[in-house]
């Protein structure tokens, strides 16, 4: 079964999150390499970017590989997207407070300190990207939650029983017609 229109948007959104996360990871490595992986404020985005990369890649691969993956269900996605939103917010708040001591104008650093100037520019890019990543995770969480609740309130309760990548509102309603008063499967139907 191919991806539904909702599933295509979900996978595209996860792909955008993955690309931003890879950029955060790249800048985080550059910043940490210059600091010799010493400062915790620089290590938080690095560790969180690696964790995000592993989980996000896993969910994307499972969406393609398994048509009924539990990790693709809305309740799981809302949970891990919300958790990562909170983790990125905490990490960004801590790191940004430490980074506030770094000048915003990296060109004010004397030319003889070219390594420090490059580090400053990498840090400014990292500072912006971590907040973009937080915003994207928050947007994905709110959008998934809102869509799932809306579909559920419209009577499409099966949204909670299948991956969003394969969710089609009309699919389950055709299945429910088979459960009649004389059906032996009626006793297993959830009310």
Q: What is the pLDDT of residue 1?
A: 53
Split at pLDDT 50, 70, 90, the class of 51 is: very high
Q: What's the CA gap between 32 and 167, in Å, rounded? A: 42
| Residue of higher predicted confidence among 122 and 185 | 122
Indicate whether this model's pTM tops 0.95: no
What domain range includes position 58?
5-188
- Which pLDDT score is estimated for 173? 47
Total number of domains constituting the chain: 1
Mean pLDDT of 149-162: 86
| Mean pLDDT calculated for residue range 37-66 | 83
- The answer to whether residue 176 scores a pLDDT higher than 60 is no
Q: Which of 42, 12, 13 is nearest to 29 (CA)?
A: 42
Which 8-state DSSP code applies to residue 1?
A: -
Q: What does the pLDDT read at residue 180?
A: 43
118 Cβ neighbours under 8 A, 6+ residues apart = 34
pLDDT tens column, 67-107: 788 888 889 999 999 999 999 999 888 888 777 776 677 77
| 99-118: average pLDDT | 73
Stronger pLDDT, 91 or 19, i.e. the higher one? 19
Listed as own residue / partner, the contacts of 135-142 with beta carbons closer than 8 Å and 24 or more positions apart are 136/13, 136/16, 136/17, 136/20, 137/17, 137/81, 137/84, 137/85, 137/88, 138/85, 140/13, 140/14, 140/17, 140/81, 141/78, 141/81, 141/82, 141/85
Residue among 144, 146, 147, 141 at smallest CA distance from 169: 147
Over pLDDT 90: what percentage of the chain?
Answer: 31
Which of 36-40, 65-69, 175-179 comes out lowest in average pLDDT? 175-179
Q: How confident is the model at residue 174, as a pLDDT?
A: 45
Angle among Cα 95, 119, 121 to the nearest 5 degrees reads 85
């Amino acid at each position: 079964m191919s991806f539904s229109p909702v599933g295509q948007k979900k996978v595209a959104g996860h792909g955008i999150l993955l690309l931003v996360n890879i950029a955060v990871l790249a800048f985080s490595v550059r910043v940490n390499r210059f600091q010799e992986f010493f400062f915790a404020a620089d290590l938080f985005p690095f560790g969180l970017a690696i964790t995000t990369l592993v989980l996000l890649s896993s969910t994307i691969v499972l969406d393609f590989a398994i048509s009924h993956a539990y990790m693709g269900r809305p309740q799981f996605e809302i949970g891990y997207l919300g958790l990562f939103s909170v983790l990125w917010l905490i990490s960004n708040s801590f790191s940004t407070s430490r980074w506030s001591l770094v000048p915003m104008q990296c060109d004010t650093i004397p030319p003889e300190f070219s390594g420090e100037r490059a580090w400053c520019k990498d840090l400014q890019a990292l500072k912006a990207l971590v907040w973009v990543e937080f915003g994207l995770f928050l947007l994905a969480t709110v959008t998934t939650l809102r869509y799932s609740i809306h579909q559920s309130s419209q009577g499409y309760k099966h949204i909670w029983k299948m991956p969003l990548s394969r969710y089609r509102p009309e699919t389950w309603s055709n299945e429910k017609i088979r459960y009649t008063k004389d059906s032996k499967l009626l006793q297993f139907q959830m009310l």
